[in-house]
C-alpha cells in the first residue's frame, strides 16, 4: 500500500514489528525488505528534532554570543536552509541499499574511507555524550525538586541508567527507530507550544542593549549549520536505505528537509526568545526553565528527557553502523554495545567538567572541519556518477570497482585534508573553553567564521577537478539499480 504522497513507489514488503531486533548492519538491503516511504522519513526527523537541545542552541545566541532577537531570528532562518543538505545526503541510500559510510567508500575507497568514518564515529558519539549530559542535568533538577541533592554517586547512577535506556531503540534497530520517533512527534509539539505560550509573557524581544557584530553573526550561523543540516548529513542514508530504489529523490529531499528544518527553526527561535527573558537559559539545558514555576518545570523536564533519548537514538544507531564500516567483522549489536560504553565514560567527564558550555560549542564548531569537506565530496561524487552504485563493490574490502589504488582513492583524501585545513584558517572557536582556537583569517576579520562555507567549497571543487573524468566514466558503466 502507498499513500498519495508516496504513489509510484514499489512495495518491498511489510514493515517489521517495533519489537523485532534488526540483524542487518551495513549489509545490502534486498528489494523484498524495502518497506520504507518518504513520509516515514519526514516524521522520523520531526520526532527527533522536536527537542530541547535546539531550544538551547537558540538561547546560546542571545545569552552567550550577544545577538539581538532580530539578529538571532535572521540567522536561524538562513541557517536552517542547510537541511536541504541532509535531504540531498539521503538520496543515495535507496540506490545503494546500504548505510552512509558504506556508500562513502565510492569516493574514498574501502581503506581511504576509514579516515572520514572514524571522524564520523567520533562525531556521533560526541552528540550522544551531549544528549546524555542534558538528560543527567535534567535528572539532577528533578531530584532537587523532590528535595534530594544529587552527589557524585547519584550522578554516576544517572549516567549508567541513561546510557542503558538510550541503547534500547538502537539495539532494536531501524524499524523501531522510525516508528517510535513518529509516535513521539505530536506530544513533543504540544509540549513546546506550551513553553511558547508561557514564554510569550516573559520575553523581552526588543530589550537588548546592543546586537552582535557581523563576525559573531557568522559564528552563530556556523553553529546553526553544524548542529543542524550539515550535522545530520552523515546520518541520512542510514534511514533512507529501506526505501525502494525507484523512490523519487525529490520526495526524499523534501520530506527530510522539511521534517527537520521546521521544528529546528521554530525551537531555536523559541530558545532565542527564552534567552531574552531568562539570563540563565544558556548556562545549561535545565537553565531554560529556571524562570518558570515548579508546576511547569517537572512535566517539562520529564518530557525533555524522553525527547533527548529520541535524538540520541539517531546518533547511537548511526555510530554503530559507522563503526561497523570501519571494522566489518563486528556485528551491529556489538557496535551498539561498544558505543554505549564509550559514551558513558566521556559523558561522565563532560558532566563533571566545569566547562560544559565551552566543550559543547567547541565540539559543534570543530566538527565542521571534517564534515564540510566530506559532505561536499560525497555529494559531488554522487552527482558525477549519477547516483549509480554497485552495492556488491561497496561492501568488498579487498577488491571491486571502488578498490582502485590499494583501496584508497587519493582525490577524495586530498580534497578532504585540504578542505579541512582551509576551513580551519577561517574558524572561530574562541568560545570553546579548553578547546578554544581561532584561525588566522578569523582573527584578522572581526572574529568571523566562514569555515563551513570554505570547507564545502574547497572540498567539493577540488574533488571535482581531481576526479570528475574517472568517476563520471565509473558511473556510466555501473548498472542502474533495479526498482
pLDDT of 114 higher than 80: yes
Tell me what the mean pLDDT of segment 395-410 comes to: 90
Mean pLDDT lowest for which of 88-97, 198-207, 419-428? 198-207
Helix/strand/coil for 150: coil
pLDDT at 10: 42
Beta strand 437-438 pairing with 428-429: antiparallel
Tell me what the mean pLDDT of segment 389-405 comes to: 90
Q: How confident is the model at residue 393 (pLDDT cuts 50, 70, 90)?
A: very high
pLDDT at 210: 63
Tell me what the mean pLDDT of segment 298-309 comes to: 80
**Is the pTM value of this prediction over 0.85?**
yes
Helix/strand/coil for 19: coil
pLDDT in tens, 232-245: 999 999 999 999 99
Spatial contact of 43 and 177, defined as CB atoms under 8 Å apart: no
Helix ranges restricted to H, 332-426: 332-352, 356-366, 368-384, 391-394, 410-425
pLDDT at 1: 34
C-alpha cell belonging to residue 113: 574511507
What's the number of CA atoms in the CB half-sphere (13 Å) around residue 78?
12
pLDDT of 281 higher than 80: no
Which helix or strand (DSSP H or E) is residue 428 part of? strand 428-429
Q: How far apart are CA 370 and CA 344, in angstroms?
A: 24
Higher pLDDT, 452 or 306: 452
pLDDT at 431: 67
Average pLDDT score over the chain? 85
Spatial contact of 92 and 382, defined as CB atoms under 8 Å apart: yes
pLDDT at 3: 46
Q: What percent of the chain has pLDDT over 70?
A: 88
pLDDT at 171: 83
CATH of 36-357, one of 3.40.190.10, 1.10.4160.10, 1.10.3210.10, 1.10.3720.10: 1.10.4160.10
Concatenated DSSP letters of 259-275 = HHHHHHHHHHHHHHHHH
pLDDT of 284 higher than 60: no
End-to-end CA distance of the chain: 16
Tell me what the mean pLDDT of segment 183-210 comes to: 73
Residue ranges covered by each domain of the chain: 36-357
C-alpha cell belonging to residue 401: 570497482
Q: How confident is the model at residue 433 (pLDDT cuts 50, 70, 90)?
A: low
Higher pLDDT, 473 or 131: 473
Spatial contact of 234 and 120, defined as CB atoms under 8 Å apart: yes
pLDDT of 423 higher than 60: yes
pLDDT at 357: 65
Q: What percent of the chain has pLDDT over 90?
A: 38
Q: How far apart are CA 203 and CA 271, in angstroms?
A: 10
Cβ neighbours for 435, distance < 8 A, ≥ 6 positions apart: 358, 359, 362, 363, 366, 429
Q: How confident is the model at residue 265 (pLDDT cuts 50, 70, 90)?
A: very high
Q: How confident is the model at residue 108 (pLDDT cuts 50, 70, 90)?
A: very high
Spatial contact of 429 and 451, defined as CB atoms under 8 Å apart: no
Q: How far apart are CA 483 and CA 480, in angstroms?
A: 9
Q: Which residues are paired to 429 by β-bridges?
A: 437
Q: How confident is the model at residue 429 (pLDDT cuts 50, 70, 90)?
A: confident
pLDDT of 359 higher than 50: yes
Which helix or strand (DSSP H or E) is residue 46 part of? helix 38-49
pLDDT at 68: 87
Closest CA to 228 of 406, 51, 13, 346: 51
Which backbone phi and psi does 375 adopt, to 5 degrees? -60, -45
pLDDT in tens, 444-458: 888 888 999 999 999
pLDDT of 295 higher than 50: yes
Amino acid at each position: 500500500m502507498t499513500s498519495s504522497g508516496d504513489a509510484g513507489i514499489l512495495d518491498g514488503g511489510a514493515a517489521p514489528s517495533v519489537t523485532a531486533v534488526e540483524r542487518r548492519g551495513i549489509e545490502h538491503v534486498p528489494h523484498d525488505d524495502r518497506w520504507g516511504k518518504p513520509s516515514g522519513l519526514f516524521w522520523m526527523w520531526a520526532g527527533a528534532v522536536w527537542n530541547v537541545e535546539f531550544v538551547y542552541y537558540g538561547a546560546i545566541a542571545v545569552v552567550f554570543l550577544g545577538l539581538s532577537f532580530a539578529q538571532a531570528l535572521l540567522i536561524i532562518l538562513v541557517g536552517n536552509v542547510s537541511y536541504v543538505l541532509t535531504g540531498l545526503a539521503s538520496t543515495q541510500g535507496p540506490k545503494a541499499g546500504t548505510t552512509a559510510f558504506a556508500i562513502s567508500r565510492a569516493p574514498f575507497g574501502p581503506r581511504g574511507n576509514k579516515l572520514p568514518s572514524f571522524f564520523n564515529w567520533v562525531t556521533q558519539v560526541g552528540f550522544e555524550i551531549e544528549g546524555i549530559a542534558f538528560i543527567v542535568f535534567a535528572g539532577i533538577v528533578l531530584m532537587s525538586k523532590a528535595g534530594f541533592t544529587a552527589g557524585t554517586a547519584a550522578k554516576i547512577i544517572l549516567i549508567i541508567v541513561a546510557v542503558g535506556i538510550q541503547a534500547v531503540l538502537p539495539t532494536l534497530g531501524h524499524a523501531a527507530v522510525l516508528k517510535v520517533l513518529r509516535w513521539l512527534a505530536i506530544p513533543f509539539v504540544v509540549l513546546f507550544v506550551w513553553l511558547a505560550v508561557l514564554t510569550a509573557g516573559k520575553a523581552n524581544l526588543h530589550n537588548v542593549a546592543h546586537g552582535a557584530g557581523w563576525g559573531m553573526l557568522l559564528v552563530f550561523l556556523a553553529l546553526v549549520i553544524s548542529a543542524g543540516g550539515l550535522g545530520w548529513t552523515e546520518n541520512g542514508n542510514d534511514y533512507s536505505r529501506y526505501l525502494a530504489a525507484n523512490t523519487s529523490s525529490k520526495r526524499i529531499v523534501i520530506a527530510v528537509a522539511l521534517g527537520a528544518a521546521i521544528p529546528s527553526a521554530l525551537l531555536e527561535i523559541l530558545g532565542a526568545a527564552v534567552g531574552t527573558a531568562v539570563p540563565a537559559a544558556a548556562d545549561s539545558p535545565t537553565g531554560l526553565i529556571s524562570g518558570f514555576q515548579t508546576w511547569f518545570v517537572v512535566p517539562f523536564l520529564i518530557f525533555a528527557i524522553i525527547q533527548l533519548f529520541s535524538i540520541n537514538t539517531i546518533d547511537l544507531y548511526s555510530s554503530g553502523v559507522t563503526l561497523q564500516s570501519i571494522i566489518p567483522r563486528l556485528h551491529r549489536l556489538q557496535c551498539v554495545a561498544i558505543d554505549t560504553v564509550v559514551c558513558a565514560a566521556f559523558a561522565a567527564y563532560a558532566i563533571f567538567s566545569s566547562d560544559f558550555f565551552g566543550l559543547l560549542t567547541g565540539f559543534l564548531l570543530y566538527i565542521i572541519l571534517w564534515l564540510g569537506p566530506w559532505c561536499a565530496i560525497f555529494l559531488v561524487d554522487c552527482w558525477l556518477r549519477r547516483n549509480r552504485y554497485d552495492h556488491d563493490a561497496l561492501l568488498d574490502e579487498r577488491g571491486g570497482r571502488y578498490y582502485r589504488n590499494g583501496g584508497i582513492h587519493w582525490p577524495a583524501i586530498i580534497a578532504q585534508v585540504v578542505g579541512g585545513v582551509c576551513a580551519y584558517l577561517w574558524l572561530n572557536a574562541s568560545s570553546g573553553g579548553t578547546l578554544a582556537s581561532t584561525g588566522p583569517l578569523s582573527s584578522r576579520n572581526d572574529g568571523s567564521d566562514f569555515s563551513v562555507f570554505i570547507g564545502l567549497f574547497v572540498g567539493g571543487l577540488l574533488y571535482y577537478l581531481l576526479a570528475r573524468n574517472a568517476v563520471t566514466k565509473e558511473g556510466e558503466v555501473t548498472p542502474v539499480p533495479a526498482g
